Amino acid sequence: MTIAESTTHAIVTKNTKPPTRSSTGMTGRDRKALRISRTLLWPALAVLLLVTQVPFVVTIYLSFQKWNLLKPGEQGFAGIDNYVAVLSRGAFFSSLWATVLIVGTSALLSLVIGMVLALLLDRKFPFQGVARTLLITPFLMMPAASALIWKWAMLDSNSGMVNWALSLVDLPPVSWNTDLPILTIVITLTWQYTPFMMLILLAGLQSQPQDVLEAAAVDGAGPLRTFFAMTMPHLRQYVELAVLLGVILMLQVFDPVAIMTRGTGGTKTLPYLLYERAFIGLEIGEAAAYGVLAVIVTIIVATIALRLLFKMFKTEGIVR
CATH value at residue 217: 1.10.3720.10
Neighbours of 288 (CB within 10 A): 24
Residue 241 has what pLDDT? Answer: 86
Residue 21 has what pLDDT? Answer: 52
DSSP 8-state symbol, 16: S
Q: What is the CA radius of gyration of the chain?
A: 28
Residue 214 has what pLDDT? Answer: 74
Q: Which of 305, 128, 117 is nearest to 197 (CA)?
A: 117
Residue 229 lies in a domain: yes
Q: Which residues contact 309 (CB under 8 A, 6 or more apart)?
A: 239, 240, 243
pTM recorded for the entire structure: 0.79
Handedness of CA 133, 139, 144, 146 (dihedral sign): positive
Domain tally for the chain? 1
- Determine the Cα–Cα distance for residues 297 and 251; give it in Å rounded to an integer: 9
Residue 118 lies in a domain: yes
Residue 318 has what pLDDT? Answer: 47
Residue 183 has what pLDDT? Answer: 94
Residue 188 lies in a domain: yes
Residues of the chain with pLDDT under 70: 1-26, 305-306, 308-320
Residue 236 lies in a domain: yes
- Determine the Cα–Cα distance for residues 294 and 271; give it in Å rounded to an integer: 8
Residue 77 lies in a domain: no
Residue 194 has what pLDDT? Answer: 96
Going by their DSSP bridges, the two strands 71-77 and 65-68 should be labelled as: antiparallel
Residue 301 lies in a domain: yes
Residue 192 lies in a domain: yes
Q: Which residues contact 13 (CB under 8 A, 6 or more apart)?
A: none
Contact between residue 91 and residue 273 where contact means Cβ atoms under 8 Å apart: yes
- Determine the Cα–Cα distance for residues 186 and 266; give it in Å rounded to an integer: 12
Amino acid occupying residue 218: V
Residue 297 has what pLDDT? Answer: 80
- Determine the Cα–Cα distance for residues 241 and 50; give it in Å rounded to an integer: 25
Residue 229 has what pLDDT? Answer: 78
- Buried b / exposed e over 33-49, threshold 16 CB at 10 Å, is eeeeeeeeeeeeeeeee
Residue 43 lies in a domain: no
Distances (CA, A) of 302 to 172, 191, 277, 314: 40, 21, 25, 18
Chain segment 151-164, per-residue pLDDT in tens: 999 999 888 999 99
Q: Which of 244, 243, 260, 250 is nearest to 99 (CA)?
A: 250
**In Å, how far from its chain's centre is CA 274?**
20
Residue 180 has what pLDDT? Answer: 92
Contact between residue 124 and residue 131 where contact means Cβ atoms under 8 Å apart: no
Residue 310 has what pLDDT? Answer: 66
Handedness of CA 201, 206, 212, 214 (dihedral sign): positive
Structural domain for 243, as ranges = 90-315
Strand stretches in the chain, DSSP E: 65-68, 71-77
